Amino acid sequence: MTISQAKAKIEEYKKQKDICILAHSYESRDIIEIADFTGDSYKLSVDASKVKNKNIVFAGVHFMAQTAKMLSPDKNVYMPNTAAGCEMAEQMDVDTLAAMKKKEPDRLVVAYVNTTAELKTLCDVCVTSSSAVKIVSALKEKKILFIPDCNLGDFVKKACPDKDIMLFNGGCPAHQRATKADAIAAKAAHPEALLLVHPECRPEVTALADYVGSTSGIMQFAHKSDKKEFIIGTEMSIAEHLEFECPDKKFFLLSKNIICPNMRMTTLMDVYSICKDIDTPAASDREIIMSDELIRKARVCIDKMIELGG
Ligand code: 13P
Ligand code: SF4
């Protein structure tokens, strides 16, 4: 089967079986092209809550598909490749957070959405990279425990100096691989280029950036800017998407090491396969199953995120 034949079959299955495909911006170009909704994790959460189709196929990592299920519990939500987890989401377990809450009972727990549903049941409000500063600023509480990403937490802390924010020592292994030396070298090699980075990067990297924002934020900035050259400080797929979308501009990588193996895991053929299997028993191994109780408890902080982040 060729790529175009696979895409044509996926389009057929989408109509036949009432399927909507959501794909995170880090997914591969061929998947982005057949998706109905693409974007950062905040946008996809809002999109998931509005989907009318019976079936959702979520190309991304596990916590994102779980979030889609929580926001559309009456839909069948599938992951094309269930091995795609998020390394950061798996860094903090329920016992660790419960112990921290016991020590710091007067702190509101603000969780990056990159957390498991089980952990979310212990959190007060979720944030994404695009909504974190807006949401934390809107909270009346001053004392906050921000989990698990210490780099996004540090970014929020600097933007909200009136808050007392305690951090957990977690983070994204892919973004943490970009160093200050990478930023200095990339700027020296491309002196005309603007440096656009994700807040999951280290503080010494974001300090050198011309723009810090989510995956969608970085893409929109590059689209709208009248500059012609950009250094991209997030998963390398974003530079490739921008090359297709803005062929008159040049995109360079901050570091060739910002690769998320989990986001690279789902292939177009995985999407083809789940679309083919939906409405048959073969799809059940890729369906997101969560108990009503887990959805009810974990959803509270997601709903709060959408209320405050909109
Ligand atoms: P965004 O919210 O920018 O999509 O980030 C999600 C993510 O996992 C980045 O590594
Ligand atoms: Fe998780 Fe990092 Fe991959 Fe984003 S890039 S999905 S935070 S491991």
Contacts of 116 (CB under 8 A, 6+ apart): 63, 66, 89, 90
Ligand 2: which of 41, 200, 263 to mutate, judged by most atoms within 8 Å of the beta carbon?
A: 263
Which pLDDT tens digit goes with each residue over 208-232? 999 999 999 999 999 999 999 999 9
Q: Kind of pairing, strands 55-59 and 19-24? A: parallel
Q: How far is the CA of 149 from the centre of ligand 1 (A)?
A: 12
| Protein residue with least CA distance to atom 6, ligand 1 | 41
Contacts of 32 (CB under 8 A, 6+ apart): 23, 25, 38, 241
Cα dist. 300→96, 125, 126, 297 in Å?
20, 8, 9, 6
Instruction: Give the number of other Cβ atoms within 10 Å of residue 137's Cβ.
Output: 13
**What are the start-end ranges of the H helices in the chain?**
3-17, 29-34, 41-50, 62-71, 94-103, 117-120, 132-138, 150-159, 173-176, 180-189, 203-206, 215-224, 237-245, 268-277, 292-309
pTM: 0.95
Q: How far is the CA of 307 from the centre of ligand 2 (A)?
A: 24
Q: How far is the CA of 235 from the centre of ligand 1 (A)?
A: 9
| Protein residue with least CA distance to atom 1, ligand 2 | 86
Contact 73, 295 (CB under 8 A): yes
How far is the C-alpha of 230 from the C-alpha of 248, rounded, in Å?
A: 12
pLDDT reported for residue 310: 73
| Longest Cα separation, the chain | 58
State whether the Cα torsion 287-54-125-165 is positive or negative.
positive
The count of C-alpha atoms lying within 13 angstroms of the C-alpha of 183, restricted to the half-sphere facing its C-beta, is 23
pLDDT, tens digit only, all 310 positions of the chain? 999 999 999 999 999 999 999 999 999 999 999 999 999 988 998 898 899 999 999 999 999 999 999 999 999 999 999 999 999 999 999 999 999 999 999 999 999 999 999 999 999 999 999 999 999 999 999 999 999 999 999 999 999 999 999 999 999 999 999 999 999 999 999 999 999 999 999 999 999 999 999 999 999 999 999 999 999 999 999 999 999 999 999 999 999 999 999 999 999 999 999 999 999 999 999 999 999 999 999 999 999 999 998 7
pLDDT reported for residue 42: 87
pLDDT reported for residue 309: 87
Q: How far is the CA of 51 from the centre of ligand 1 (A)?
A: 21
Which pLDDT tens digit goes with each residue over 103-151? 999 999 999 999 999 999 999 999 999 999 999 999 999 999 999 999 9
Atom of ligand 1 minimally distant from the CA of 42: 2
Q: What residues flank ligand 2, with Cβ below 6 Å?
A: 61, 86-88, 114, 172, 174, 200, 235, 260, 262-263
How far is the C-alpha of 150 from the C-alpha of 13, rounded, in Å?
A: 42
Instruction: Go through the domains of the chain in sequence order and give each one's CATH number.
Output: 3-85+263-279 (3.40.50.10800), 94-171+298-309 (3.40.50.10800), 174-259 (3.40.50.10800)
Q: What residues flank ligand 1, with Cβ below 6 Å?
A: 40-42, 114, 128-130, 172, 198, 200, 214-215
Q: Kind of pairing, strands 76-78 and 143-147? A: unpaired
